[in-house]
Amino acid sequence: MEYITLKNSELNVSRLCMGGCPMGRYGWGTVNEDDLIETVHTALEKGVTFFDTADTYGLGQSELTLGKALGNHRKEVAVATKFGVRVGGGKTVYDNSPEWIREALEGSLKRLNTDYIDLFQVHYRDEKTPIDIVVDTLEKMKEKGYIRYYGLSNIHKDDIAELLPFKGRFVSMQDEYSLACRKNEEDMFEISKQLDVTPLTWGSLGQGILTGKYTKDNIHFGNDDRRSRDIYVNFHGDKLIKNLAIVEEMKKIAQKYNKSVAAVAIRYILDYLPESVVLCGVKRPEQIVENVEGTGWRLSEEDIKILEEVSR
C-alpha cells in the first residue's frame, strides 16, 4: 500500500480509498450488508486506511454500514463524508447554509457512530451561500473538534476565483476521473495547483467498465442498477465501444505486469496524478483485493503513453 499526507493537513491516508456509494445499497443492483462489512475488514487487512461516504448514499445507509463495519477500528482510519444535499418530499436540493451544515454533521456523526469526522466535504455548492459563510461554519466545527479537516467535491475551474481567498483552508477536492472519463483532467490539475489541495478521484473504474469483466454481450443491468440508464454513458452507445477499446489495451498491460485490469486503471491515475488518492466503490471482498493490486508498483512511461493515447 502507498500512503500520502493530504495537503494543508496532518492526515496521512492510503492512496486507495474505499468509496461508499454502493454501501448505500441503492441503485447498484444486489448488495449484501454482510459482504460490505467483510469488504471493509478485508480493506483494513490490506492496508486501506481511508474510507469515503456521504450522507445521501442510501439516505444515510452507507454511513450506518461503514460505522458498523469499522467498529473498534475507527481510530485507525480516516473517515471522509459529505454534506450539502438535502433529500425529501420527492426533491433534491443543494444546501450549504450553516443551519443545514450543522444538521448534516450531527446526522453523520450519529450514523457513523463517531464523535469526529476526519474529512468533511462540500458535496455540491448550492450557488447561493457565500463561500466565506461556509468556511466560517466549518472552522467553528473544526475548533470544537467535530471535524479535523474539510474539502471540496464536484468543483471546476470556474470556481477557483471564488475559492482562492481561502487557499490553505481546504485540504482536498474530488471529481470524476478515469481512463473512461478524462473531461475533468485539466480542471483537476488547475484546481489542485492553484488551491493547493490533494485531488481525490471518484468513478475511478468508470462505474465498473474498466474492470475488464464486461463485453458488449454481457451487459445486462436490471432496473435496480443505475447503470441501466442512458445517463451512465460508460455502458451505452459509442461511449461503450470506446471504453471496450480502452479495456483491450488495459488487458495487454495487465498481463504484462501480472495484475488485474482494475489494478491497471487505478495505477494509471496514481502515476498520471502523482499526488492523488483514488476512490473506488466496491461491493464484495474480492473487488477490494483486485483494487489493492493497483498500489506498490509503477507503469512504464511507454505504457502510460499507450493508455493516455487510447483514452484521449
* Annotated catalytic residue within 57, 150, 232, 268: 57
What pTM did the predictor assign? 0.91
CA distances from 276 to 2, 175, 218 (A): 11, 11, 32
- Answer yes or no: 272 catalytic: no
Check which CATH number belongs to the domain holding 34 and give it. 3.20.20.100
Asked if 121 and 151 count as a contact pair (C-beta separation under 8 A), the reply is yes
Domain contains 219: no
Domain count, the chain: 1
Flag whether 135 is in a domain.
Answer: yes
CA distance 158 to 191: 10
Decide if 12 is inside a domain.
yes
Report yes or no on 164 lying in a domain: yes
Residue 67 lies in a domain: yes
The boundaries of the domain holding residue 103 are 3-208+262-299
* Maximal CA-CA distance, the chain: 54
250 in any annotated domain: no
**Cell 495505477 belongs to which residue?**
267
Residue 248 maps to a domain:
no
Total H helices, total E strands in the chain: 10, 12
pLDDT of residue 31: 80
Task: Please list the pLDDT of the chain residue by residue as tens digits (312 residues).
Answer: 999 999 999 999 999 999 887 787 676 667 888 999 999 999 999 999 999 999 988 888 899 999 999 999 999 999 999 999 988 777 889 999 999 999 999 999 999 999 999 999 999 999 899 999 999 999 999 999 999 999 999 999 999 999 999 999 999 999 999 999 999 999 999 999 999 999 999 999 988 889 988 787 887 777 777 777 777 787 788 888 898 999 999 999 999 999 999 999 999 999 999 899 999 988 889 999 999 999 999 999 999 999 999 998
Task: Give me the pLDDT at residue 149, please.
Answer: 98
Q: Looking at residue 28, what is its pLDDT? A: 67
Alpha-carbon torsion (177, 214, 268, 304), positive or negative: negative
Query: Looking at the domain assignment, is residue 174 inside a domain?
Result: yes
Residue with cell 475533468: 184
